Amino acid sequence: MSVSASSPEKGISVVTVDFPPVNALPVRGWFGLADAVRAAGRDPEVRCVVLAAEGRGFNAGVDIKEIQARGHQALIGANQGCAEAFAAVYECETPVVAAVQGFCLGGGIGLVGNADAIVASEDAVFGLPELDRGALGAATHLSRLVPGHLMRALYYTSRTVSAAELHAHGSVWRVVPGERLRDAALELAREIAAKDGRLLRLAKAAINGIDPVDVRRSYRFEQGFTFEAAVSGVAGRIRDTFGKEGV
């Protein structure tokens, strides 16, 4: 179980998440991911970061079993870790390309919603099953992928949307067969990395500066309701049901 970084080509850093079996990250995983993305962005030789994952799915959100075992302390840690990982992607000094395969759920939406571009495999699905998991959050990021009314319907129903649907909305750059995913993400990263590094960093800062929503503040506001659900007992009741069903 790890978060690793590699440099397959000049100017490109690939940050890879590998937490079997489903890439549901524990608290330390979220903070590790944040550290890896920030380190890549600070490297003056890096002009584009690719965020990728091993296994059959990109990300299944937080490790609910850890929260069940450790209670509110784990929930606080997960809240803080997710906030830092999402912010690290958004605030990365260079553009971030997310390479998404299989499922991208919960916290995965926070990551890709804050990325600069998304390349997805044909089998990729995106969604927020938060209401089925005793949580709230990442509507901030889902709203960056789909129009507002669709975001609400997806959020309330816990349904998913396909990579092809997101491509139709313009939020996924390209949809490719699974075996082509890493190559396609690197192709886009290579095109970005061919630009002047200093100008790219200025461009990233400029684009973030004109964003109409402060994504860090907006997400932290949502997390307050996650904790309210926890202390009221409703979250635990739902999570207990989830635990009996398994992951």
In a domain, 239, yes or no: yes
The rounded distance, in Å, linking the Cα atoms of 125 and 236 is 27
The dihedral built from the CA positions of residue 127, 133, 136 and 137, taken in this order, carries a sign that is negative
| Structural domain span for residue 75 | 2-180+197-245
How confident is the model at residue 247, as a pLDDT? 34
Residue 220 — very low, low, confident or very high, per pLDDT cuts 50/70/90?
A: very high
The rounded distance, in Å, linking the Cα atoms of 48 and 180 is 19
Secondary structure of 1-42 in HEC code, one letter for each residue: CEEEEEEEECCEEEEEEECCCCCCECHHHHHHHHHHHHHHHH
Least confident of 79-88, 197-206, 225-234: 225-234
How confident is the model at residue 216, as a pLDDT? 95
In a domain, 64, yes or no: yes
First-residue to last-residue Cα distance in the chain? 17
Query: In 3-state terms, what secondary structure has residue 226?
Result: helix
b/e map 138-157, b = 16+ CB within 10 Å: bbbbbbbbbeeebbeebbee
How confident is the model at residue 243, as a pLDDT? 53
Rounded mean pLDDT of 119-133? 96
Q: What is the pLDDT of residues 176-191, one digit of tens each?
A: 999 999 999 999 999 9
Least confident of 6-20, 66-80, 97-111, 124-138: 66-80
Least confident of 95-109, 146-160, 222-236: 222-236
Question: Contact, 108 vs 86, CB < 8 A?
Answer: no
Least confident of 136-145, 150-159, 228-237: 228-237
Number of domains in the chain: 1
In a domain, 185, yes or no: no
Q: What is the pLDDT of residues 5-43, one digit of tens each?
A: 999 999 999 999 999 999 999 999 999 999 999 999 999
In a domain, 192, yes or no: no
CATH number at residue 50: 3.90.226.10
pTM reported for the whole predicted model: 0.95
Least confident of 15-19, 214-218, 238-242: 238-242
In a domain, 7, yes or no: yes
In a domain, 186, yes or no: no
In a domain, 189, yes or no: no
Question: Contact, 121 vs 154, CB < 8 A?
Answer: no
What are the tokens at 85?
């990982």
Residue type, 233: G
